[in-house]
Amino acid sequence: MVAHWIGRTSVINENIRRKQPTRQRVSTSIWLILFLLCLPGCLFECAVPRAIAETSVLYDPSAVTEQLAKQLLPASIEASKGENTAFSPFGLAVVLHILAGGADKATEEEFRDLLGIRDLPTASALLRFSDYLRGIDWDDRGITFQSFNGLWCAPDAPPLSPYSDLVRRAFQAQVEVLDFSKPETTDQINAWFAQHTQNLIPQMFSAIPSGTKLVLANALYFRGQWSMPFPADATRTEPFHVAEGQVVDVPMMQQSRDRFLYLRASGYEAIKLPFGRKDFEVIIALPDAGQKPTLDVAKLVSSMLDDVRYTARSGHLFLPRLDLTVSNNIKSRLESLGLRNPFSDAADFSKLTRSQVDVNEIIQRVVLKWDEQGAEAAAGTGSYLVRQSVERKPEPFLMIVNRPFVFVLRHIKSRAVILVGLVNNPAASDH
């Protein structure tokens, strides 16, 4: 029996929701909404030993999102065929952990290999990952970061209680049994998405596909203001050089500052733009003119996430406004990384349900906007500053982001990569 899995990327955790202030109204902010669609079967049964011997455990939940970013961005760029691309390693990591908890035998081993789970039981890795998520915090009333999980099963495929207990406890997931054959069920799930994305995604589905046994939904919402907003009166229409020699006109924001965190490296330059009290940040990497960011994007992402390479520099930045909507299917990219069994008839989700199910699709949709005042996406806690030399101050830099660039949104202290992507054309909003 083929089961269908539908969701939006990100994680749910009660700790995050408790830390949120009442909804902040920021008129010029950036919004990031991620939702992940995937289609397998019902839930998983899983033993969850909390107390385990944790000596020499190699599994590191803080490394998972960065690794997924480096592994999947090259394939995502290739699949986009010159269009904009973006996905959430953070949201994908949550979904993969949830799936791993319901897998068994060879199917479970493939999840463990991809997530870097070594000498730790899979169920314990889920709990450790949920503890890691709870550590993503901030002290800034100007930041809104909300993450939610929803899980709905068909009446003939109810969740096995050990696993439903696990996902409720570890991920604070809403778990319900619904009849997917009824049209009002689609409306109910769409209403859930609308509620948890501040109506940025008012309708996820026109109809739930026939044969659906399980719907898993992850929704992430972030809103924040730049630590140093761009002056609105400085924005000008400027050319942006897209692929194949084409040029489009875009609103180009600009600002000068004495202390940007800036990196000048071989073949590219990068800059960090923090939000609020610098718990979250977006990093922009701009390859040199004539360089293609697709040549070694995994190495580029690894380099731009290396905090110690940045120095405090004065300079002038030009950055286009962004209004991005991207949909992409993650399934084939995961298969290229060795995760094949869960998508085949050999899939074993016997800890998930007593029915024979497999994953049919994993799809993400990302909405990302930024303007002079702020952005919507999660980044990290704490900003690393390197003191400049008193004797020799470097010359101010000029960084003009007027050609394709790579971006990362992350939480600084936890190093969680919330969003990563390549913008080929900021004037193109969807594909």
Provide the CATH number for the domain around residue 250. Answer: 2.30.39.10
Same domain, 216 and 104: yes
Token pair listed for 401 = 């982001």
Dist. CA 296–CA 39, nearest whole Å: 32
Q: Which residues contact residue 131 at a Cβ distance below 8 angstroms, ignoring those fewer than 6 apart?
A: 61
How far apart are alpha carbons 263 and 244 in whole angstroms? 27
Residues linked to residue 404 through DSSP beta bridges, in sequence order: none
Which of 91-100, 102-111, 182-191 tops mean pLDDT? Answer: 102-111
User: In this structure, are 201 and 281 located in the same domain?
Assistant: no
In a shared domain, residues 99 and 236: no
Q: What would the mean pLDDT of 33-60 be, rounded to a whole number?
A: 42
CATH of the domain at 23: 3.30.497.10
* First-residue to last-residue Cα distance in the chain: 32
- Per-residue tokens: 83: 């269009």
- Are 297 and 406 in contact by the 8 Å Cβ rule? The answer is yes
Q: Is residue 5 included in any domain, yes or no? A: no
More confident residue, 199 or 188: 188
Overall number of domains in the chain: 2
Beta bridge partners of 215: 152
What's the DSSP call for residue 387?
P
Q: Does residue 414 sit in the same domain as residue 350?
A: no
DSSP-assigned beta bridge partners for residue 338: none
The answer on pLDDT for 265 being more than 70 is yes
**Sign of the torsion angle spanned by Cα atoms 222, 226, 232, 234:** negative
Mean of per-residue pLDDT scores for the chain: 78
Q: Please check whether residues 208 and 241 belong to one and the same domain.
A: no
Closest-CA residue to 324 (of 200, 421, 429, 408): 429
pLDDT digits (tens, 9 = 90+) for 230-264: 999 999 999 999 877 789 999 999 999 999 999 99
Between CA 376 and CA 282 the distance in angstroms is 10
Q: Is residue 425 within 8 Å of residue 242, measured between CB atoms?
A: yes
Q: Do 142 and 260 sit in the same domain of this protein? A: no
Percent of the chain predicted with pLDDT > 70: 81
On whether both 302 and 345 belong to a single domain, the answer is no
Residue 316 CB: number of other CB atoms within 10 A? 14
Across the range 318-325, mean pLDDT stands at: 92
Identify whether residues 313 and 390 lie together within a single domain: yes
Question: Are residues 242 and 198 located together in one domain of the fold?
Answer: no
Q: How far apart are CA 296 and CA 174, in angstroms?
A: 40
Return the pLDDT at 261: 96
Residue numbers of the domain that contains 286: 232-323+378-423
- Place 12 in a pLDDT band, splitting at 50, 70 and 90: very low
Question: 221 with 300, same domain?
Answer: no
Q: What are the pLDDT digits (tens) for 145-191?
A: 887 887 788 887 788 888 888 888 888 888 888 888 888 988 998 88
Q: Looking at the structure, do residues 77 and 219 belong to the same domain, yes or no?
A: yes
> For residue 159, which amino acid is it?
P
For residue 252, tell me if it sits in a domain: yes
Strands, E assignment, 330-415: 362-370, 374-375, 397-400, 405-411
